[in-house]
Amino acid sequence: MNLRRLLLRLRLADGIGIRGENRIYNWLQAHPNRAKHLLPNQLATIAELTDRHRVRFCAHFVSQQLSERVQQHVAQLSFITILDQAYPAQLREGYLPPIVLFYQGDISLLRADRLLA
């Protein structure tokens, strides 16, 4: 699974939240070659989920329902991840930045040089 899809899947999964998402994102930044081998239980450990949230997250992360939702987002909806160049730099530098942004319209309007024109 590529990193963009993994981040989207994390964002759409139940039981994790923004803190857990950011813990996993930061871990992935420190261990870029290990993302393909992570199991849901390992992700839950990295995210420091409680036992109750771990069970919910792990069950949903591998579900067909989540796989269909991810596929729908990839095929039909517009999103950018914190890994993408189009992600707003100011937002990336903030406290607990969202790992995925969903949008409608022209993404190029986020570029600072467009504001000066």
The domains of the chain, with CATH numbers, are: 3-116 (3.40.50.450)
From residue 69, alpha-carbon distances to 2, 28, 81 in Å are 16, 23, 16
Lowest pLDDT segment from 13-27, 41-55, 81-95: 81-95
Using one digit for the tens of pLDDT, what is the confidence trace for 81-116?
Answer: 999 988 988 888 889 999 999 988 888 777 655 554
Give the per-residue pLDDT at 113. 56
Give the per-residue pLDDT at 1. 62
Q: Is the pTM of this model over 0.75?
A: yes
Tell me, what amino acid is at 72?
Q
| Per-residue exposure over 77-110, b if at least 16 CB sit within 10 Å of its own CB, e if not | eebbbbbeeebeeeeeeeeebbbbbeeeeeeeeb
Query: What is the rounded distance in angstroms from the CA atom of residue 36 to the CA atom of residue 88?
Result: 26
